[in-house]
Amino acid sequence: MSQHVLITGGAGFIGSHLADELLAKGYRVRVLDNLAPQVHGEDARRPDYLDPQVELLIGDVCDPAAVRNALRGIDAVYHFASAVGVGQSMYEVVHYTRVNNIGTAVLLEALIEKPVEQLVVASSMSLYGEGLYRNPAGETRIVGERSLEQLKRGEWEWKDTDGSVLQPAPTPESKAPALASVYALSKLDQERLCLMIGRAYGIKTSALRFFNAYGPRQALSNPYTGVLAIFASRLINDSPPRIFEDGWQQRDFVSVYDIARACRLALETPAAAGEVFNIGSGQAYTVRDIAQRVADVMGKEQLAPEITGKYRVGDIRHCYADITKARSVLGYSPQVTLDQGLAELAAWLEGQAAVDRVAQASAELSARGLAL
């Protein structure tokens, strides 16, 4: 009999793609999702993109009865339900702690009552804080958090003790977490809670640290999600992308299809149990480059990005994934190139009407002294 899988938060961006991936491989898929208004809009109903074969249970992961009900007959769980937004987590502290930390605790108590075979939890690169760096001699350097004074002076890059600029290096799973937001703290908490309870109760558990995911179905009207969606939503409204700092900061953009494959591999690989994996593209791109590429594929290359020189407290300078472990243990290898992925994103965007709430989001951060 085919495995019956529950995805919490499976009506969202990554979860719905994972549902497609699993259905294509013969799994049965159930989703528990409360269709959170920030992601799905007010008066939300079942998203059109969710495959009709997915059984959708509308409910809150913090509600023990809803979770127990969702676990009936389930063999494996992907825990994706989360409030997702670094900046917003710094003032909606109760909401992020409730959904992410308490929601995970509620799920785990239900699993203690009725264990499943396997559990995969969505974690995040945000828990690294800054990525790994090297000095000009090639020596590894771990950096902390840039001071407010440094940001005010516009000194964006990290420097070694002798004043030389440090270069970003691929970040492995072994880099110690450096938590700079309530969101990052909650992702580490989700990861550790799942691994701890999984080990104690014999549930084969793995945690996947996603880097910056992109692809169709991104919640464009939610200004707190990834930078790519934010740029795209500005461009759809004929406004140029606005870039913090100088735009030379680097990130790892990974196609949602590659993430979905990695999630399936984590379920199908016995050696994944008890382990944490980076899931990224393994490539670093500057935010300037990304803004220009998004504008190009949307045919809006005349809308040159605005480099604002502004900053957000808690933003890191550079981070991209070392995916060696996922390659060797899971057999993961990214298949979608950035250009292919952006072209598909652009085609999907043609049909989307995103409300540009970026200005409002920036104002909310500024009002709290979290951004300049």
Ligand X SMILES: NC(=O)c1ccc[n+]([C@@H]2O[C@H](COP(=O)([O-])OP(=O)(O)OC[C@H]3O[C@@H](n4cnc5c(N)ncnc54)[C@H](O)[C@@H]3O)[C@@H](O)[C@H]2O)c1
Are 325 and 274 in contact, with CB atoms under 8 Å apart? no
Least Å from the CB of residue 14 to ligand X: 4
Smallest gap from residue 353 Cβ to ligand X (A)? 18
Q: Any contact of residue 298 with ligand X (CB under 6 A)?
A: no
By CB under 6 A, residue 233 contacts ligand X: no
Asked if 124 is part of the footprint of ligand X (rule: CB under 6 A), the reply reads yes
Chosen residue from 87, 215, 226, 241 binding ligand X by CB under 6 A: 226
**Catalytic one among 27, 128, 183, 257?**
183
Examine the residue annotation and report whether 257 is marked as an active-site residue of this protein.
no
Q: Which residues contact 183 (CB under 8 A, 6 or more apart)?
A: 83, 84, 85, 86, 88, 89, 96, 100, 124, 126
Size of the site for ligand X (CB under 6 A): 30
Positive or negative torsion for Cα 97, 188, 61, 38? positive
**Residue 11 binds ligand X (CB under 6 A):** yes
What are 250's strand-pairing partners?
286, 318
Closest distance of CB 212 from ligand X, Å = 5
Q: And the tokens for 140?
A: 């590894």
- The residues, any chain, with a CB within 8 Å of residue 256's CB and separated by 6 or more, are 13, 14, 17, 213, 214, 215, 216, 217, 218
Q: Is 58 in the site for ligand X (CB under 6 A)?
A: no
Query: Collapsing DSSP states into helix, strand and coil, what is residue 182?
Result: helix
Pattern of binders to ligand X over 143-172, x per CB under 6 A? ------------------------------
Whose structure tokens read 């994996």? 277
Cβ burial, residue 352 (10 Å; 0-12/13-18/19+) = middle
Please report whether residue 80 would count as binding ligand X according to CB under 6 A. Answer: yes
Residues in touch with ligand X (CB under 6 A): 8-9, 11-15, 33-36, 39-40, 60-62, 80-84, 99, 103, 122, 124, 210, 212-213, 219, 226
Catalytic residue IDs: 183
